[in-house]
Every structure is written in C-alpha cells, then in structure tokens.
Chains A and B, each alone.
Chain A
Amino acid sequence: EDQVTQSPEALRLQEGESSSLNCSYTVSGLRGLFWYRQDPGKGPEFLFTLYSAGEEKEKERLKATLTKKESFLHITAPKPEDSATYLCAVQPYRANSKLTFGKGITLSVRP
C-alpha cells in the first residue's frame, strides 16, 4: 500500500529564516510526486510535480527535490505570505492513478 509521511507536523519560522520540509514515501512504481499548498478552508493549490530521482524544480522562494525515498521542499527567506499547509502526494503507475497524500506540514512565518 502506498504511504506518505511528512515531517515535522508544524514549523514556525521567523521571516527570512530558511528551512526544509520533508516527505518520505513508499509506492510501488512512482509515476509522480506532487507538492500542493493549502490555505485554511480552501482547496489545494498545485506547486510542483517531480518524476524521477535527482530532479529539482523551483518557483520563487520554493525549491523541490526528489530522491528514491523522499522529497524535500526547501523554503528560502520565507515571508509571512508563505504561511500555509504544504501537502505531499504520490501517484503510482496504475490505471487508477489516485493521489495518496500525507497529513501535511503547517508552516507559520512570523514577521
């Protein structure tokens, strides 16, 4: 069964204090690993898809990386508007390519 574990559960940073969010996964044949951002009471907003180990993608202050067992979301010099819950999900190579999500990491950035 596909599994995703995210750590830490919550992270509080000072504005400008860089850090990393971890996503560990097990899946039988990874088609893609997805990062989403979710604001309270709203739907997840797509950030990145990573397909193979060694791949990296960047968007503004965010950079996602992938190995065969985990993915990291690095946040450089975060701002208060980066405060949100960050969700990681895996998608297997199967006809029914459902997403299996972790519980998410709640990031709070203080000004």
Chain B
Amino acid sequence: ETGVTQSPTHLIKTRGQQVTLRCSSQSGHNTVSWYQQALGQGPQFIFQYYREEENGRGNFPPRFSGLQFPNYSSELNVNALELDDSALYLCASSYTGPGETQYFGPGTRLLVL
C-alpha cells in the first residue's frame, strides 16, 4: 500500500462535459504529479505541483488544470472533454522535493462517450 488514494475509481462522461478527479497523498508528501495512461501505453506526464504551486507541465492543453491543497490532497480538472481523453488517470506523490521516488495511486478510469 502506497497510502495514495484516488476517487472515483471509474467515471463515464459525455463529450463536452467537465470532470474533476481527486487524489489524497500520504502526510508529508508535498509533491504530486498527474499522469494520463492510454490503453497499451506508458503514463504521460500532465503536470506537477510542489507546495501548492505548479512546478512544470507536459504537452497537455490548458483545459487540463489542477490544484494542490495544504492537506496533501489534489485535483485534476478537465474541461470540454474529448473522446481521446478516455484513459487511466494516475496521481503520484513524493516526499520532500520533486526529485524523489514517486508513489502512484490506483488510478481513475475515465471513459468519454
């Protein structure tokens, strides 16, 4: 058990809708990263938050946004959902700085119809 939890486990949305995914890290894990994993692919980096500030972003459009809260929880928001957004969304938390080992949660499976 990594102590990283995500909710919901599964979600079905329609194209154009908005979705919020949640992640809860271990106490003391002040860095959280979000990844998108399409079927048969490795995880792709979306963005990272360190002490509640965005600390880098991958090649994802602005409709992907995030927040990190002081209680070690975080959110991934996706606006104007597209069919290609269907994927497993993973959050990973790490202790101390951004360069430490990242521990992943179980993921949220999003299906966009």
A-to-B contact residues, CB < 8 Å: 4, 31-32, 34, 36, 41-46, 49, 87, 89, 91, 93-104
Contacts and interface: CB of A to CB of B under 8 A. Distances in A.
A97 to B, nearest CB: 4
A34 B33 CA distance: 15
B101 interface: yes
B56 A44 contact: no
B103 A46 contact: yes
Interface in B39-88: 40-45, 48, 55-58, 88
21 contacts: A4-B42, A32-B99, A36-B104, A43-B4, A43-B6, A43-B104, A44-B43, A44-B90, A46-B101, A87-B42, A87-B43, A91-B99, A94-B56, A95-B55, A95-B98, A97-B48, A97-B98, A99-B35, A100-B45, A101-B44, A102-B42
